[in-house]
Amino acid sequence: MAGLRAVLPLLCLLLPPPARAAGSAVGLEEEDGVLVLRAASFEQALAAHRYLLVEFYAPWCGHCKALAPEYAKAAAKLKAEGSEIRLAKVDATEESELAQQFGVRGYPTIKFFRNGDKAAPKEYTAGREADDIISWLKKRTGPAATTLTDAAAAETLVDSSEVVVIGFFKDSTSEAAKEFLLAAEAVDDIPFGISSSADVFTKYQLSKDGVVLFKKFDEGRNNFEGDLTKDNLLNFIKSNALPLVIEFTEQTAPKIFGGEIKTHILLFLPKSVSDYQEKLDNFKSAAGNFKGKILFIFIDSDHSDNQRILEFFGLKKEECPAVRLITLEEEMTKYKPESDDLTADKIKEFCNKFLEGKIKPHLMSQDLPEDWDKQPVKVLVGKNFEEVAFDENKNVFVEFYAPWCGHCKQLAPIWDKLGETYRDHENVVIAKMDSTANEVEAVKIHSFPTLKFFPAGSGRNVIDYNGERTLEGFKKFLESGGQDGAAADDDLEDLETDEETDLEEGDDDDEQKAQKDEL
C-alpha cells in the first residue's frame, strides 16, 4: 500500500515468549490458544478445521510482536464461544517453503483458509485488534448481518464491538432491507445486525425503518438520514465509523490506511506538554467540520516508535507540536500550514484552503553543504536537484537512499567506486540524495535505494535502473546511454519499502532484513 503507511513506526517490541499448551484436540501444538503450524502439520490443520486464519510471521518482526497479544485474545474469545474458526501461525523464517507457497513477502501476512482450500486463501485486510479480527472472520463465515430477534440480542451485538451497525426494518424483505444487506456484505470489519422486532425498535427509540451506527466513542450513535441505498449507507459508515480524532498506533494503522478517506491531517503533539489536552481539544473541535473528507490523526511525538514518522515529515521533536497534511492517492503529497497557530479556527482555515486547492505542496530540503561537489559522488538536496539532475550538458546517475536502509548501506562502497571511476569524466555525474530529508516535484520515491538516470538533453527524461547492482553493471548502463539495465515500465521492483521494513536501525539487523527481503 502506498501512502503514509510507508512511514509507519517500526516496532520491535521485546515481548516475553508465550507459554506453550500441551496441544489441541487433533494433536497440534498451541501457544496461547493459537495453533503453531509447520510444514509437516499444515495439511493436518486444514483438514481438521473448516475455517482457519493463519499468520505468517518472523520472530524479530516488530509488527508481529505488537499483533501477538491481540491475535491470541481473538483466538481465546472464538474458542470460548465454541466457534468453528481457529487461529494459527507459521514462523515464515523457519518454514520458508510454506511462505513461498502462499506468496508471503512481508510480515505479518495473514491468510484465511476455508474448507481446506489452499488454492486461493483470502488475504486478511482489516485491523489488528482482537475485535477487528473477530468481526472480519464472522463476516467471512456467517451471514452479512445477524438477525436480532429481541432486545437482548441487539444489546449483546451493540456491546460486542467498538462500532456496530443495525438495520431496523419492519419488513425484512423490503427493498431498503436488501440495500442494507448489500452494504453489510461490502464492509469487512464492522458487525451488522438486522431486526424486525418491535421490542428492538422500542429499545432504540425508532418508530419507522432506519439504520443506526452505534459506537463507543464521540457521540455514541449516528442515525442514517436520506435515501437508503447501498452507496449512501457506505458513505454514512465511512464518515462515522472512526473517531473524530484517532491516535496513530500499531493497532489503529490498518484502519487509518485501509479506509476510504485518503486525505489525512496529522497533529504531532507530545503528551508530556502542559497544554496537551487543550491542543487536542482544539484539533477535535476542528475535525467535526470535515467528517468524511479529511481524517484527523494525532501522533504522540514523544514516543520513540514515532520518530521515523517525524523524520518522514522533516520534523524534529523540539519543533512539535506541529500540523501536517498528506494525501494518499497514487502519489503521496505533503502540505504544511503557513501558521504555527494550532487554534481550531486556524486548523479549519488550513483544511478549507486545502479543499479549495489554494495550498501548494510542501517539499522538504536540507541546506546545501558547502562541499557538495568536492567528492566523486556529488551530494544533492532539494535545493540543487533541478540544477544538477536536469543539466542539459550532463548525464547524471542518482541514488535516492535512506540512511537507515540496509540495502543502501550495502550499495554505498560500490556507488563510491562508481563515483571514482567517473570522477574526471566530462559529462557523467554520479550523485546521491537522502530521500528521507529531501523531496523534489519531478521524482517520487517509493523504495530504497532507487536509482535513476537523467540523460543529457532538453527533454527532461528520466530512466529507471533495474540491472545488476555491481560496478560492472552500472558501467555498462552508463556506457550504453542508459539502455543496458534500464527498467521496463512494468518491471520496477520495490526492494525495500518503508512499509515493509520491520527492524530496528543498526547494522546488526541487516542480515535479518536481507532474509525478509528474499521471501
User: Which residues are designated catalytic?
Assistant: 61, 64, 405, 408
Which single residue is written with the C-alpha cell 473448516?
50
Provide the 8-state DSSP code for 443. B
Contact of 401 with 432, CB cutoff 8 Å: yes
**Cα–Cα nearest to 296, from 338, 341, 342:** 342
Distance between CA atoms of residues 211 and 192, nearest Å:
10
Local structure of 151: helix, strand or coil: helix
Provide the 8-state DSSP code for 228. -
Distance between CA atoms of residues 397 and 457, nearest Å:
14
**Cα–Cα nearest to 359, from 348, 351, 347:** 351
Distance between CA atoms of residues 517 and 519, nearest Å:
5
Contact of 107 with 61, CB cutoff 8 Å: yes
Distance between CA atoms of residues 98 and 92, nearest Å:
7
Distance between CA atoms of residues 338 and 358, nearest Å:
12
Phi, psi of 135, deg, nearest 5: -60, -45
Amino acid residing at 378: K
Contact of 421 with 475, CB cutoff 8 Å: yes
Phi, psi of 54, deg, nearest 5: -120, 125
